[in-house]
Amino acid sequence: MVRLYDFRCQRERIAQMQEVSMTRDDIGLVPDPLVASPAWWQAVESGALRRECLDGTITGVWWAGMADWPEFEMRDCAGNVSTWTREGDLRRFVEGLRVRVEFVEHPWKHADHGLGTHSRVVLGVWVEESAARASGIAPGPGGAGYELSRRQGDVTHYLCVSDRECGAALLAELERLGRVGRVWGGGTPTEWIVQVWAPRADDAKGEAADLDSLAQRFGGRYDGGEIVAGDVWGPLNQL
């Protein structure tokens, strides 16, 4: 299993959750204990806040909301079906793969907003190691996401690196070569994605080996690509 998400390293998300808990009266989690504080982690370890772990199989992958929010469905070992946000490298969530979700139930300040009495704070997500990949491009409402993507190129590649700094350095080199891209990810401290666009679908797979060589200079690797609203492929050795 590959860990795709680690709550402990989500500094920006934790800061936002803590601010809402401490400063808002109408929304947020009960601030005692404050989410992700030392007291909170102690409550998790002691069982005062219930921690659960679900093991099962991914039974569906889609874009929710306005066709822009990545979700997946899993059936756990007891046969129960639940829906979760795809965290970390959302391309690694592929129907049929094994999945594990660890979470804590933390009470909301108010239980009258239709979300139940408790929030499921996800601590970790693991997915079965596989060369299979799902699309990382959100369709958006009416296909608007696809149209925005095509402004950058008909194809996008994904290069994996070990940290944000390596990703920034790799992206700078790609931009020096006239390419357009971005750095994202950070579901765990050691998994970041440099996404780089290619103008023509016909030439895309042919440049995968060169992109892999470039990524290796920064301690990374080529991890697949996709045609906008079309074919999706995985690592170089699967082409």
To the nearest 10°, report the CA torsion of 166, 172, 178, 183.
60
For the purposes of burial, counting CB atoms within 10 Å of the CB of 15, is it exposed (0-12), middle (13-18) or buried (19 or more)?
exposed
99 three-class SS = strand
Q: Which of 130, 106, 135, 126 is nearest to 118 (CA)?
A: 106
Tens of pLDDT along the chain (239 residues) come to 999 999 999 999 999 999 999 999 888 999 999 999 999 999 999 999 999 999 999 999 999 999 999 999 999 999 999 999 999 999 999 999 999 999 999 999 887 666 788 899 999 999 999 999 999 999 999 999 999 999 999 999 999 999 999 999 999 999 999 999 999 988 999 999 999 999 888 878 899 999 999 999 999 999 999 999 999 999 988 77
Whole-angstrom Cα Rg for the chain: 19
| pLDDT at residue 161, as a whole number | 98
CB 214 within 8 A of CB 170: yes
Q: Where in the chain is the domain with CATH 2.40.50?
A: 2-127
Alpha-helical (H) ranges within the chain are 11-23, 38-46, 144-150, 164-176, 201-204, 208-216
Cis peptide leading into 33, omega within 30 of 0? yes
Q: What is the CATH number of domain 141-231?
A: 3.30.70.1710
pTM over 0.75: yes
CB 150 within 8 A of CB 226: no
Element (H, E) at 161: strand 155-161
114 three-class SS = coil
Q: Where in the chain is the domain with CATH 3.30.70.1710?
A: 141-231
Q: What is the CATH number of domain 2-127?
A: 2.40.50
Task: Give the whole-angstrom CA distance, residue 93 versus residue 127.
Answer: 7
Residue linked to tokens 């069982």: 47
Task: Give the whole-angstrom CA distance, residue 51 versus residue 69.
Answer: 25
Q: In what order do the strands lie in the sheet with 155-161?
A: 181-188, 191-198, 155-161, 221-227, 232-233
